Every structure is written in C-alpha cells, then in structure tokens.
Structure 1
C-alpha cells in the first residue's frame, strides 16, 4: 500500500505543482504601455519577478501605478507564458458605491460615477470635451434647465431659439423697451418711436 502511495505521489507530483502554479497573486513593479498588449512586470509570491501580458476589457485601458496588486495566470501551467487577468489598487479604489453603481477613477481624484439617478463627473483641474458638434438635451422631467455655476466664455456666436434672460430682464424685454421708447421733444411733446427697431 505504501509503495502504491509513493508511486501515486511520484506520478501526480508534477501535475499538482503545475496546478498550484496556475494562478498566483503578485505586486506590480513595472508597466510597458508601448506594446499592443500591455506588458507588466509583477513580483509573485516568494519575490519571483516575471513579465506578463495584461488583458483588459475592450474599450477600456489604464496605466496602473507600481504597488498595485495583480492576479496572474500561467497559460497551460507554463510559467514562461503568464497573463495578468486583473490589476487592482486598494490605495485608490473608490468606495461606498451604492448597489449597481459603476465608476471610473484615478489616483488624483478624477471620477466618473454612474449613480442611480445621475452621472456625476468630477475633474480635479480641468474638464475638456472636443467634438465637431455637441448637443445637450435637458428634458422637462425635472426643471428642464442646464445650470452653469461660473462665467461662460464663448468663442463664436450664440444662437438661441428662445429668449435670453438674466437676473434683471430678458432680451425680448430689451427689444420691447427699445422699439417702443420715445423722448421729450425739443419743442415740447415727445419724439416718435425709433425708425429702426431692434430685431
């Protein structure tokens, strides 16, 4: 019986070793972001340094900091062909999300959160949107307004199909006042209305 056990252990030993080495945890050391498939150097358990190809979801890419943690798999059990399945960084991960919420974030504090009732964008220094055209629709579900806190600088014309108002009055009110106003005449009475109205 003992001989059978030793024979079994001898035969299965290499298999078990390969199974144990299939998936490992590691700490990120370096990133090569110049490759078509990002390369990462990780320090595996026991301090073993190794390079791995990093697989990311289509349409999303990131350049993580050294010190992030990785889950690395050995394809076919071969340590010469490692792939990084996931890399996370507990130092910067956004916490306290509600169930079902999704977020993108970085170490500086730039955040996009898909919340339950809105999409929240927070830029630490500057938010820039570049597009040939841009269309914003504010529905009347709430107040139908687009609110801007701060000054607005426009390099071009402002074309409004509705009235433009501020805290005092509106453009239409200015037109009405101008087009209907008159002055005291030099010889008494009043002058007529302007001969050119404000359109």
Structure 2
C-alpha cells in the first residue's frame, strides 16, 4: 500500500472520530447566566448539553423550538457551543440589504430600504441621564403630548390658527370701551405678556 493511501486512511479514521458542526432544535435555555447553558436536540435524535455563544454587546434568548447550529469544540459533542440560531415562526420578512432586531411578540427595530428606520412596540422608554436631542427639520406627533416638566421653545409655538406671539400682540394692544362716563376706552394693559 502506498504512503499516500495510508495517510488518506489515517486522516479519514481521525476525521470519523471528530464531530462536525450540526443542526439542532433548541429545547431549553437559561439566559440568566453569563454563558447561557442550553439543551439541544440534534436532528439525528441526540441530546446535547451546550452553551450559547454570542457577539459582545448583543444578547438574545431564543425560544424553545428555534433552530440552532452547534459547533463541537475540539470535535467533541460534550463541549459544544451554539454559534447561530433562527426562528422562522417569528422572523420578520426583509428585503435584500435590510437589518432588523425582533421578538416573538412583534416588537422590532427595522432598518429598511430608503433609509427608513421603523420601531414598532407598545411602549418605548428612553432613559437618558442628561439629555435627549433630536436633530431634524421637523418633528411630527400623531397623538397627544404630555410634558410633566417645563417646556421651552426657541421658536414660536402655534396651534395651527395663530401663534403665541400673535396672541400676545393682540392682548398687549387690547382696550376696553365704555368704562368711563364719557365713553372713552381704557389704556392698554399695564402688565404686558
């Protein structure tokens, strides 16, 4: 037998003992742990105890039933890690080039084509210790606005009929007629707005 054939057989025998990456279905995940332990059912029926690995700054807790890719570290199933997961039951539909974060409840942040970012949820809470600033030529609200503190506007404020400055001008120039026996008007208000 040639050396080449012997090396090929030896490599094949070694490779046969090394577990390759596999697909499975997530059965359980404890996302409260720093390196979340998980149980996965392999598509060949095996049960694996693995860990969920994710990129720094990104955290997700896939639901039981999600499909996963398990990479056995060192080729051993006992040391496997989940390196990817997807759940077609809840995945939102994307156009080529789009990106989204989403949950099973329908909440999502969707970076759409045409430079549109869509955020869908029931309640959006932004907590900022110093300030929230919007830099935009226009801000639109379709519902009511409630401000629990003071409000300040560098420009004029209008209700769509007249601006606050126009109301001030009317108030500051107004008089009351017929208040004296001769029928003369009062002077404009002493305290201007």
CA distance, structure 2, for counterparts of residue 8 and residue 184 of structure 1: 111
Alpha-carbon shift at residue 13 of structure 1 (Å): 5.3
Aligned length: 187
Structure 2 residue 156 is matched with structure 1 residue 146: no
CA distance, structure 1, for counterparts of residue 7 and residue 154 of structure 2: 87
Structure 2 residue 107 is matched with structure 1 residue 110: yes
Is this contact kept in 2: 1:22–1:75, CA < 8 A? no
Structure 1 equivalent of residue 153 of structure 2: 160
Structure 2 residue 166 is matched with structure 1 residue 173: yes
Report SS of the residue matched to 1:83. Answer: strand
Alpha-carbon shift at residue 8 of structure 1 (Å): 6.8
Structure 2 equivalent of residue 141 of structure 1: none
Structure 2 residue 184 is matched with structure 1 residue 189: yes
Alpha-carbon shift at residue 57 of structure 1 (Å): 1.6
Q: TM-score with structure 2 length normalisation?
A: 0.89
Alpha-carbon shift at residue 128 of structure 1 (Å): 1.1
Structure 1 equivalent of residue 15 of structure 2: 16
Alignment of 1:88-107 (within 5 A): 88-95=86-93, 97-107=94-104
CA distance, structure 1, for counterparts of residue 57 and residue 81 of structure 2: 19
Match of 2:64 among 60, 63, 66: 66
CA distance, structure 1, for counterparts of residue 153 and residue 6 of structure 2: 86
Is this contact kept in 2: 1:22–1:76, CA < 8 A? no
Alpha-carbon shift at residue 190 of structure 1 (Å): 1.1
Report SS of the residue matched to 1:179. Answer: helix
CA distance, structure 2, for counterparts of residue 169 and residue 6 of structure 1: 92
Alpha-carbon shift at residue 6 of structure 1 (Å): 10
Alpha-carbon shift at residue 167 of structure 1 (Å): 2.3
